[in-house]
Each structure stands twice: as structure tokens, then as C-alpha cells.
Structure 1
Amino acid sequence: MKALQAKESADTNEAVDAAIEREQAIVAGIRGDAADRPMPEDFDALIEHLLSTPMEAMDYETVRCGPLMTKAFVAHIRDNQKKLAAAGPSGEESLVELQALEEWVMVARERQSEREDNARRAAAVEANGGEAPPVTAVPIDANSETSKSETRFSVGEKFEILMSCAANGVDALRNAIIELAKKDEIDDVLVGMLQSNALNAEEAGDEGRAKFLRKVAEVCVRERKAAGFE
């Protein structure tokens, strides 16, 4: 009896091990197949590509196809959803698929923006010899003889100060904004430049940078008011 039980246990273990190996092979094969598939050349091809990709390979495809998932691609998905909704019951199944795909793409776009931001920071560090770029100092001693209507920095210089500080983290950026606000260096021109760059980033599909620049502009306006300047 014990010998029979031992044999059954061994057979069960072998079956489990074989099932695990098959699953691993399937996943590896899926990922390998995804890597070998050509990149889609247009939005319709990208939709078909993503819908035909097994869930096990979707994380991989998030990275591989991330740059293609632009704001225009999301708009294309929504246009297709409208067409399918207008088609009635015949388009319901495909509509549900596209709605699920849109949700997935929105998450993928956020991750892509994070990767691009991290890549920019890494490039800045590498260009600076492996260290974070130095923070451009903002003078804290005011020129008492200088009129408040005169600024010590051009709008381009102030923008560079903010971006340099941003590379060193949120705290460094916030401190720079506060110091600029205290010296009445934040004006409508700087805020306009931030918003304009945000719009350009959005049109280029860089949603993460657009959101960041709009947030910086918002904080600039708030700190300017807190410093007593309207």
C-alpha cells in the first residue's frame, strides 16, 4: 500500500512539474513571439496588435509599444467606439473590447510618461558626470536700489532655474519657486511660458511633462500671491 501511495505521489509531482514547465514554456513563447512581431504602422494596426496579444505578454507590450500610445491614439480608439456604438448590437462585443483597451492604454501612457521622465533625469545625471545637475542658486538678498518692476533674470533664465531644480526633486523645485516669488521674479510671462511648453508637450503626446509643467505654473501663481504680489 505504501509503495502504491509513494508511486501515486511521485506521479502527481511529475504531472505538476510538467504542467508548470508547459506553462512557463507557453509564457516564454508568447513573449518571444511578441518580441518578433513587427511594430504596428498605424493606429488600426496597433489596436489589432494589442487586442491579439495575450494578457501574459501585455506588460512587455506596454514597454515596447509605449511610444506609439499617444493622445491621438486614444482619440482614435474613442472615434472607433462611437462608430461601433452607432452600429447597434452588432458592434457591442467589439465596443466592449475597445473600452477595455482604452482603460489599459491610459495606464500604459502614465507608465510611459514616467519612463520618459526617468530617462530625462538619467540623461541629465550622466551628462553631469554621474551626479545630479547642480541647482542654480537664486539670490536671496534683494537689491534695495532696484525697482520692483525690474527683474534680475530673463524669462528664459527663470525657466532654466526651475527645470534645473526640478531635476533635483520636488523640494528643490518648490524652494526655488518660493525664492523667486519672494523677489517678485514670477510674472505673467514666466507663467505663460510654462503653460505654452505644457501645451507643446501635450500636442507631442508627452502627457506626463504637460501635467508637470501645468502644476509648476499653478504653484508659481499660488506662491506669487502668497508673497503678496498679484
Structure 2
Amino acid sequence: MNTLKKIGILGGTFDPPHIGHLKLATHFAKLLHLDELLLIPSGQPWQKSDTITSAQVRFSLIEAAAIDLARAFLYLKIPTKIGVDRIEIDRAGPSYAIDTALSLRERYGKDASLIWLMGADSLIGLPSWKSWKDLINQVNIAAASRPHHDLQKELSPEMAQLLKNQGANGLEVLANQAYGHIYIDNKLSIDLSSTELRNHLKTSARTTVASEQIPAHAFEIITNLGLYQ
């Protein structure tokens, strides 16, 4: 399973980053034996509202969360190198996955397996992404199941056909192929969303919610800046 260098890509708004993000990263880093994991906060997420927290603050939050993630990797003896990347924040205009994938392909070359990590909800919505068919020609996709999302029922016919044609039956496919395959993992099920978390942070249960769902270093910044109140 070590034929190609394996680079995991976890993108998102991270407004705020939560334990679910870290669990997803940890699960796939261990499962796929990732050489590197890139956490990439979006600059101008085109599918989000204009009320999101500034890109620089979100970068600081995910950078802080990465400290807790690194400690988890150390404890679990996961050798994956973690990086927080400004590639989308520093790029002008809306943040599109295809642009990021093309840049990373140029950076790592044709002989690296670029593996885009996501939840089942993102996989279901993939046809709404810009140039989504081109994306699969640059990266592999590893998607984790999520509660309340039934892939068999919710996938569009076009997406279901893509999964039929390019679905990976085993992990070795992602290890040996640089792009073009989709792996569905049903061993991890995360029921957390940043939108719901922001709403909970506005309630009297703010501290309790935060201690259970937000990485400690990220919540310290949230508290110091008075975010999500």
C-alpha cells in the first residue's frame, strides 16, 4: 500500500472547526496511511452566505485545531504529517475545489495519490461543484458515511453511475492510483455540522457545547475574540 505518496485533503469553511473534522481526519489518516494531511480553509466559499467569519480568523481557528489533531496523531502513533494550507485564502475570487486540485497536482506531480476527504453529504452534493467531473480526473475521493444521509436514495443518477464506474472496492486502489476513484467508508459516522454548532454557541449551553464539540485550542481563540455569540 506504499506505491504512491498519499496526500489527504480536507477542505471546508471551518466556521468553526469541530471535533467531527478531527475525527474524519484521524480516521482516514490511519486507514489510508496518509503521508501528509492538508487542512485547507476556503477563502471565499461560493456556496456559503456572506455572513461567514473572515478567512484570516478561520485560518487561525483551523491552525489552532491542528495542534489538537497533532497531539491525537502522536498519541495514536499516526505518522502522518499535518499541514494547514493557505492556498484558497491567498487565491483571489471564489474558492473552487477544482482550482485547488489543479494547483496541488502541479505541486505534488503525477505520481502522488491526492485523496479528497469528505462526508457523505458532500459526496451527494458533488454535482453542484464547479467542474466536478474534472475534479475526479485530478483526485481520488474518500467519503465517510453520515447519519441521516442514505447514499443509495440521495445520489443523483449521474453520481450513482459515476460511483458504479469508478467506485473503489478496496483501499489498495487509492494507494496505487493517483486519481479517478471513489471510496466509501461506513465505519465512521459523524453527526456534527458547523451551522448547528454556531447556533448552539448562541445558547446558554455555550461552554458545555464547546467543551464537547470544539478542539480546545480553537475554542480559546473563539472565547478571546468573542465569536459566535
Q: Which TM class, normalised by the smaller chain length? A: under 0.3
Give 1 or 2: higher helix fraction.
1
The structure whose RCO (Cα within 8 Å, separation 6+) is larger is 2
Max radius of gyration: which structure?
A: 1
Query: TM-score scaled by structure 1?
Result: 0.20
Give 1 or 2: higher strand fraction.
2
